[in-house]
Structure 1
Amino acid sequence: MSVNNINKGVTVVSEEVCQQIMGRSESFTAVENVFAAMAKNTAYNFPVIREAIGHEDALYGFKSGFDRDGMVLGLKSGGYWPGNVKKDLTNHQSTVILFDPDTGKLKSLVGGNYLTAVRTAASSAVSIAHLARKDAKVLGMVGAGHQSTFQLRAAVEQRNFEKIVAWNIDPDKLDNLADICAELSLPFESVTREELGAQADVIITITSAFEPLLNVDWIKPGTHIACMGTDTKGKQEVDANLLKKATVFTDELAQSITIGEAQHAVIQGLIKEADITPIGEVINGTKPGRSSADEITLFDGTGVGLQDLAVASAAADLAEAKGQASYINF
């Protein structure tokens, strides 16, 4: 923290400012860099705390960590309030709190709702950039919730997709994705899950499912799949046998095998922790990514606190540089 910033006080970056200054490119770079640092063991996620608070059916918790390369220390505090939709509020509520690693002094308060969406989308985009076939033409979307629109926009910037196919349990909600495709002049089609697997070269699953939505037999050779919805014990989006058939990558091994998509394949003895590669290893060039055009690759995106800290730190720096940050004495 510079002397100038200490004199100004604690940096505050609102949700509105985050939406104005933090784009997909900045989020992609922040997430890619922190994945690389994690693979070098120069960035560490601390144990996650997540509890039901016994009020409003809310889940509340903390994700925290330290990135020595980026000199970012802090936590994301927040959770899920299912009744917020009736109050015209986002169900997911969070704030990122950053500290000066040199002194422990409070450094920044950053709105975390929008940043959670863009960092999750950046994670799948990083996986597409490093693992999908270069000639991928069809993108498949499984799920059409709030997060899916961020996923779609980030994904289409990674390959020259010529068509988007999508499935959702409630087909009417696919209009959100169809509207974005119309805006981007991309053909869009609502399909069955079997048809999606037959057509898509890249698939993003972004649901809250507790049972497999995609069967291993539906996935064609050469597909890249980014499983982005499974972040809790018991959740599942794809057939566990798909992880046995695919080459599996993840953001963090510990979460992948306990709360991520890989938990079911590990429990069933289909794969072991050693079969999963941190994507940071691919980014750093220490482990291979895709090895052939026919190989199925799967990214288990569990979501880690360091992603939140990375994008929040980038947002705080941008807000200060653009004169859009606020300051408080603390």
Structure 2
Amino acid sequence: MLVVAENQIAGLMTPEAAFDAIEAVFAAMARRKARNFPVIREALGYQDALYGFKGGFDADAPTLGLKAGGYWPHNQDRGLINHQSTVFLFDPDTGRVSAAVGGNLLTALRTAAASAVSIKYLAPAGARVLGMIGAGHQSAFQMRAAARAHSFERVIGWNPHPEMLRRLADTAAELGLPFQAVDLPTLGAEADVIISITSSFGPLLLDEHVKGPTHIAAMGTDTRGKQELDPALVARARLFTDEIAQSVSIGEYQHAIAQGLIAEEAIGELGAVVAGADPGRNGAEVTIFDGTGVGLQDLAVAAAVVELAKAKGVAQEVEI
């Protein structure tokens, strides 16, 4: 078994490589060459932690495996990031474990890459203003990936804890973009593309906030009960997701489904847009991508980083 430690990932995996891997996974899913397995995600009742497993099989690659990990909200008190995970890859021919890969940075990169893919294919023409809802650890990755996928002129942002907005301001400055802290009604009215990346359990961006042609990448809802968007906003948008089954059960669309505001048939797959089988915006004023985070994305970036580690001679071999 090969081991690629967490502290090696930054020197191996680039945001560009992550984008390419995730874009390819979306297309493979649309061609039905790859599938995700049902997600297991549970509250531990200890340290307020959420823990679970995401896995899948990509016959095109071929790649088989799972990611184990979750969310520990008190980790910041220990000097650790809240999301902790490890990816395990298996030989699809024999079932033997082939690699264990640190998953923290990879999760951040693949999550940001997924929203960036949605921006590439669904942003309204002439989009200039990027709106950021949330200023946690993942927000910087999201902003950087969005700026690679589309040319923005400025960034506006909101966070429930305003003292954290420095992360957004610093990241925008790094990208050479002006930044302004705004309230949510202003953000919804002025932003052409909005990324929401919070751990909210109630709607933040309301229907009346969003004005004009807009694309929203809703990236924070990955557990039953979590919510970032007003169901009425979801109901008037053209809807896309990474995995429909996850979206209606643990993703952002669970709430509009539960209220009877949308039918599951109204939800499209982003992979179909990537593969050219779906026209995408197709004249819609508002599009939403519900990024629930699928196991195939984790496997794709992990497999890519293993190959890079092997090529550079830094993968550790362990007998099990």
TM-score by length of 1: 0.94
2:141 is matched with which residue: 126, 143, 150? Answer: 150
1:307 is matched with which residue: 297, 306, 309? Answer: 297
2:310 is matched with which residue: 297, 302, 320? Answer: 320
1:81 positional shift? 2.4
1:124 positional shift? 0.3
C-alpha distance in structure 1 between counterparts of 2:8 and 2:42, whole Å: 30
C-alpha distance in structure 1 between counterparts of 2:255 and 2:268, whole Å: 17
- Pair 1:213 & 2:198 matched: no
Query: 1:185 maps to what in 2?
Result: 176
1:54 positional shift? 4.0
Moved more, 129-138 or 55-64: 55-64
Q: Percent identity?
A: 59
Moved more, 43-52 or 258-267: 43-52
C-alpha distance in structure 2 between counterparts of 1:52 and 1:196, whole Å: 33
Moved more, 120-129 or 317-326: 317-326
State whether residues 252 and 304 of structure 1, in contact with CA within 8 Å, keep that contact through their aligned partners in structure 2.
Answer: yes
C-alpha distance in structure 2 between counterparts of 1:233 and 1:211, whole Å: 12
C-alpha distance in structure 2 between counterparts of 1:79 and 1:233, whole Å: 14
C-alpha distance in structure 2 between counterparts of 1:319 and 1:19, whole Å: 11
CA spacing shift, 1:244–1:57, aligned 2, 3 Å = closer
Moved more, 50-59 or 271-280: 50-59
- Pair 1:132 & 2:157 matched: no
Query: 1:298 maps to what in 2?
Result: 288
Task: Please give the per-residue CA displacement for 1:253-282, whole angstroms capped at 9, x wherever unaligned.
Answer: 001111111111111111111100010011
- Pair 1:101 & 2:85 matched: no
- Pair 1:288 & 2:276 matched: no
Query: 2:3 maps to what in 1?
Result: 12
Amino acid in structure 1 at the alignment position of 2:316: S
Amino acid in structure 1 at the alignment position of 2:94: T
C-alpha distance in structure 2 between counterparts of 1:55 and 1:202, whole Å: 37
Gaps of 5+ in 2: none
Moved more, 270-279 or 10-19: 10-19
Pairs within 5 Å for 1:13-28: 13-28=4-19
C-alpha distance in structure 1 between counterparts of 2:182 and 2:107, whole Å: 28
C-alpha distance in structure 2 between counterparts of 1:200 and 1:57, whole Å: 34
Task: Please give the per-residue CA displacement for 1:126-147, whole angstroms capped at 9, x wherever unaligned.
Answer: 0000110241100000000011
Pairs within 5 Å for 1:47-62: 47-62=38-53
- Pair 1:200 & 2:191 matched: yes
Residue aligned with 1:156, SS: helix
Q: Alignment length, in residue pairs?
A: 320
4+ aligned runs moved over 6 Å, structure 1: none
Pairs within 5 Å for 1:203-282: 203-282=194-273
Amino acid in structure 1 at the alignment position of 2:26: F
1:173 positional shift? 0.5
Residue aligned with 1:82, SS: coil
1:44 is matched with which residue: 24, 35, 53? Answer: 35
C-alpha distance in structure 2 between counterparts of 1:302 and 1:262, whole Å: 10
Moved more, 317-326 or 299-308: 317-326
Task: Please give the per-residue CA displacement for 1:166-191, whole angstroms capped at 9, x wherever unaligned.
Answer: 00111111101101111222110000
C-alpha distance in structure 2 between counterparts of 1:85 and 1:296, whole Å: 36
C-alpha distance in structure 2 between counterparts of 1:164 and 1:15, whole Å: 31
Residue aligned with 2:89, SS: strand
Task: Please give the per-residue CA displacement for 1:75-99, whole angstroms capped at 9, x wherever unaligned.
Answer: 1011222332222222221110001
C-alpha distance in structure 2 between counterparts of 1:53 and 1:268, whole Å: 28
State whether residues 124 and 226 of structure 1, in contact with CA within 8 Å, keep that contact through their aligned partners in structure 2.
Answer: yes
Amino acid in structure 2 at the alignment position of 1:271: I
C-alpha distance in structure 2 between counterparts of 1:216 and 1:83, whole Å: 32
Residue aligned with 1:154, SS: helix
CA RMSD, Structure 1 to Structure 2 (Å): 1.2
Residue aligned with 2:11, SS: helix
Amino acid in structure 1 at the alignment position of 2:302: A
State whether residues 135 and 159 of structure 1, in contact with CA within 8 Å, keep that contact through their aligned partners in structure 2.
Answer: no
Residue aligned with 2:234, SS: helix
